[in-house]
Structure 1
Amino acid sequence: MNFSFDTILHNLPYLLGAAKWTILISLAGMAISIVLGVFICAARISKSDLLSRGAAVYISFFRGVPLLVQLLMFFYMLPHIGLDLPAILAAILSVGLCSAAYTAEILRGALQTIPAGQTEAAHALGMPPLSLWRRILVPQALRLGMPSLINELILLVKVSSLASVVGIGELTRVAQNITGQTYRPLEIYLAAAALYFVINFAIAQLGRLAERRLQLR
């Protein structure tokens, strides 16, 4: 069977259209991950035994259960509790909740590298805990954890393909559909792989740019 560039060119618009859902799931999931990860991290290092153990259980569960199982569980569980969300929202939430466990640990590791004197000085000046986290701890933790957070986002782009199991037409699902119609798996999956590479390469480059700018501050 001869390799056909025409097959790629003909189906490229469909793959590009599907790639937007891959990007949406990844970016929205990462946004949820960072916001929720900050609170989980704060609970994990809290002096409250209840909060710390609750955060530890959350992290252990979402890191210990495969994302595919979480996605299916989340998608089919919500209607039973009266939340009939669209599949795309269910996928974004499940990805974000899972990633938050990893983000919380990334931030916790970054916080451990911040000199304790900064927190002590803030307490001595009477700075409220919320201001301490908003002005000192979170910005530095995000800067120090930036490389790991970029890696987490790249991972989300790759695992977003799991959303195909709930019927979302993201890049992998559309590639599978096109392959079933054209019987040209080599060309279609090579094109899909190239698009994944371009997306992740762009994220990596933007991440490096963000790191350099943050280091200059």
Structure 2
Amino acid sequence: MMQPQVIVHALAYLTLAAGMTIYVSIAGIILGMGIGFTVCLARLSGGPILARIGAFYVSFFRGVPLLVQLLFIYYFLAEFGIDVPAMAAAIGGLGLASGAYQAEILRGALNAVPLGQSEAATALGFSRASIWRRILLPQALRISVPPLINEFTLLLKASSLVSVVGIAELTRVSMNIASSTYRPLEAYAGAGLFYLAINLCLAGLGNLAERRLATGAAR
């Protein structure tokens, strides 16, 4: 029979662990945004070398499991004298992996914007920067919000893997609680509730962003 008091007693530890999960996830998302946008531009640049480098990056980081990437950054680089702190390895691994997915989401969104709009803007004398700022990016952002929110949700859940490099996030802490209390059901149920609450908040923010972008487009 489940003993809820175990969850209550562990609430403070799980709350701190949830904060760590949110921190590494947000940092990984932000890093992934920068990488994803850069890789997306490389793939759409029209230059064969940049496009191939971008394609290789996407193929590599989508093809290699995140767990292997984290272990490579934290342990393998140390063999060559590159000592990567656990937090840097966790955020770097999440960001590098997320960047590959975000790059493809953004590329698909930009390709979904009708080419005729850019051609018409060019004919009207718009600069390339103005076309990107006023035509391409606003529409691509509206298109990409749902898949990006889905990617952020998946990244948040995948952040449980950073426990392999010693980060005390939700999964790691719940495992410690389970081993010390001999009550794995309550420990993992508590962690699951925190994951659910965080993802529901993320989904709510995504819905809010969609509505705001839709309102702005209607004006």
Q: Contact 1:22/1:157 (CA < 8 Å) preserved in 2?
A: yes
* RMSD across aligned positions (CA): 1.6
> Is 2:139 the partner of 1:140?
yes
Structure 2 partner of 1:4: 3
- Closer, same or farther: CA 12–215 of 1 in aligned 2, 3 Å: same
Give the total of aligned pairs: 215
Q: Contact 2:74/2:85 (CA < 8 Å) preserved in 1?
A: no
Taking structure 2 as the reference length, the TM-score comes to 0.92
Structure 1 partner of 2:180: 181
Q: Contact 1:38/1:138 (CA < 8 Å) preserved in 2?
A: no
Query: Which moved further from structure 2: 111-120 or 157-166?
Result: 111-120
Query: Aligned partners of 2:198 and 2:35: how far apart in 1?
Result: 24
Structure 2 partner of 1:127: 127
Structure 2 partner of 1:14: 13
Residue-by-residue CA offset, 1:103-156 (whole Å, 9 max, x unaligned): 11111111111121222234342514x454344323322221000000001001
The offset of 1:17, in angstroms, is 0.3
Instruction: Extract structure 1 runs of 4+ deviating beyond 2 A.
Output: 76-86, 121-124, 130-140
SS of 1:145 mapped into structure 2: helix
The offset of 1:46, in angstroms, is 1.9
Structure 2 partner of 1:162: 161
Q: Contact 2:62/2:100 (CA < 8 Å) preserved in 1?
A: yes
Q: Mind listing any 5+ residue stretches in structure 1 that lack a counterpart?
A: none
Question: Which AA in structure 1 matches 2:65?
Answer: P
SS of 2:62 mapped into structure 1: helix
The offset of 1:40, in angstroms, is 0.7
Give identity over the alignment, percent: 54
Structure 2 partner of 1:39: 38
Query: Aligned partners of 2:24 and 2:133: how far apart in 1?
Result: 27
